[in-house]
Every structure is written in structure tokens, then in C-alpha cells.
Amino acid sequence: MAGAAVATGLEGVVATSTKLSMVDGQAGELVIGGYPIGELAGKVSFEEAATMLWRGALPAKEDAPAIQKELASYRALRPETLEIIKTARNAPPIDALRMACATLSLDVSNPNDISPAGDLALAKRLTARFPTVVAAHARLRQGHDPIPPRSDLNLAANFLYMVFGEEPHPAVAKALDTYWVTVMDHGMNASTFTARVIASTRSDMVSAVTGAVGALKGPLHGGAPGPVLDMLVDIKSAEKAEAWLSKELDAGRRIMGFGHRVYKVRDPRAEVLARTAEEMAGADLQNRKLYDLARSVEKTALRLLEQRKPGRNLKTNVEFYTALVLQSVGLQPDQFVAMFACGRVAGWCAHVTEQHAQDRLIRPQSEYTGPRGLTVGKR
């Protein structure tokens, strides 16, 4: 559009209104469904928090068992989905999840139903089945058969059971549950926007969420928790942190786990997950050593970043403590992005439902910068 200002990366552009979540980057605040993230994560289950996003209000505490039971009834995968996961056993977990996601409406009579009831039915299936897909893939790439889901465990505990073959310690299941609540929604991020663009065409829930998984795969969005753990392992000890970090900064490389497109102060999700990581560290000596190292690295990194890049406000983000929490429950770094998707899917589904209700095609303009007036002439 001639004369219009171009907002590269849609920086500062307000594309829609939402009742689902609010991110205040200056104040370091994340509100989901009216609740600061610290009021939800670790205090209500992932199933309850997801239901709040889908229905607009936190369910009564006495309804939690029924909600858990209903979602548990959708966990099992169809044979066609399992075949795709088997074919993708050597692919990265996030790729296997993307491939499998497209099949998760095969048992729905009308997957193109974008009514509130149709969207809710698919939201429940997608949220219940994402962990089953990731767990089945984990087993298959280790040369084992997938373990069928149980209905008597909550979503987090059942996932860990399907991966490791034994019922997890309650503290471990709670840590994963807390993580999923912490990352379930976060304003108009890239994957959520992708889902809403697809939904705005009146396409279905599964198509929109499959697209969101593809957006999450990109390292600028969901790909840094694994490298955070690699960094900590490479540093080895608090005494070596300053030299290691200085060398990275001298080379112009990014320090993983610091800086955020929106937050100019410490990411509030990092606060929640730091507490969760500390709780896990208290029960395990190896986790304690890694946690203590992480706190030391964090302190040193923040000091160096302020010295080297003053005014950039490169503070701790969610990825830093995500690495500690997910490794403490026994997961591998290449599984971290898929685990993020298992939490974020609840938010994606809520945004798709909201976009369907708005029923407005998202169609921005672009500024043409190419040549004009060319002719083919003689060739």
C-alpha cells in the first residue's frame, strides 16, 4: 500500500483483541484468563487451566476429577496415527508431532465443524493426544513398543508413565504439570498468530494447530531450551562461567536463555520455573548441582550482558529454567520443543475458537519494493 509505514515483523501492530492472555513486557507481567501466571502454575492442574481457556472461567475444584477423566478418555491414538509415528521414529520429536497432528481428527464425524461445540471437541482431543504422540515417539526411537495410556493418572503423570514405563513420583509429575500451565498461552506469539491466520479462513481446528506446530519448530520461537542445557554442561562449573560467557560475547554469539522480543525485565515464566527447578533440585543431588550452576551462570550472564550491551535489557527468559525443569523429569534436549507444544496446544485451541467466533479473515497489506514497467520484448 503506497505511503503506508511498514512495521517489519509486525512490531507494535495490534492485530486482534482477545480475552485469553495479556503480556506486559515493560512490567514483566503475564495474565492468563485474568490470573497472573503465578496464581495458576503449580496451583491448578493443566487440565483445569486448559478448561478455563476454552470455557472462559476456572472450573470449580470439585469438577476437576470429572474434567481429568473426560480428557483421559481421548488419549488413545488411532492405528493410522501410530503408523505415522513409526515411520517418523528417526525424525526429531517436533517433526513427528507435526506429522501426527494432522491425523488427530480421523475419529471425528465432522472435523470441519467450526462451531463452538465442534472446536471444543477437537480442543479436548488435541490436548489429550499430544503427550501420547510424543511419548509413543520416544519409545519407538529407543526400540520399544509404545505404552498405552492409563486413565487413572492426570495428563502429566500419564505422559511420564508412557515414556518411562513406571508411575512417576508425584513431585516429578507436578513439575511437568506446572511447566505446561506456565507455557500454555502467551499473547500473540508467532505460532498462535499462525493458528489464528489459518482459522480466519474458516479452516478447521486441526489444520490451524498443525500450522502452529510448524511455526513453533523454528529456533527463533521454540528452539532454545536445549541449547541452554548444552551451555550449562559446557561451562561445567561456576568458576568457568565468566570466561565462557565472555568468549561467546566476544564472538558475537547469543547467550541462550536471555533476552526476549517482548519482555524488557525478567520473564515472569522464568520466576515460576525457577521455583519449580529449585523444588526438584531439593530432592536430587545431581539436579542440585545443575541448579546451583544455573543460578551462578544466570547471575554472571546478567552482569556481563548489562556491561556489554547496556540498555538492551537482556534478562532471563522462560527458556533458561525450562531446560532445568525438563531435564529434571528425565527428558532429553531434543524433546523440549515438543514438550512446549504439549502445553501450548491448549492455548492454540482457545485462540482458534476465539478466531472462529470473530469470523474475520486476517489479510494484511504489503509494500511492493520490486521493479515496475518491465516489458518482455524480444527474447
CA–CA dist 322, 333 (Å, integer): 10
Assign 96 to helix, strand or coil: helix
The values of phi and psi at residue 42, to 5°, are 85, -5
CA–CA dist 170, 31 (Å, integer): 27
Catalytic choice (319, 351, 354, 356)? 319
Identify the CA nearest to 280 among candidates 250, 311, 322: 322
**Angle at the Cα of 43 (from 39 to 48), degrees rounded to 5?**
100
Could you give the angle at which helices 225-235 and 241-250 cross, rounded to 10 degrees? 120
Query: What is the DSSP secondary structure assignment for residue 261, as one 8-state letter?
Result: S
First to last CA, the chain: 32
DSSP for 200-240?
HTT--HHHHHHHHHHHHHSTTTT--HHHHHHHHHHH-SGGG
Distance of CA 364 to the CA centre of its chain: 26
Catalytic choice (137, 186, 260, 356)? 260
169 a catalytic residue: no
Question: Cell triple for residue 240?
Answer: 568457568
Q: Are strands 35-36 and 29-32 parallel, antiparallel or unpaired?
A: antiparallel
319 a catalytic residue: yes
The catalytic residues are: 260, 319
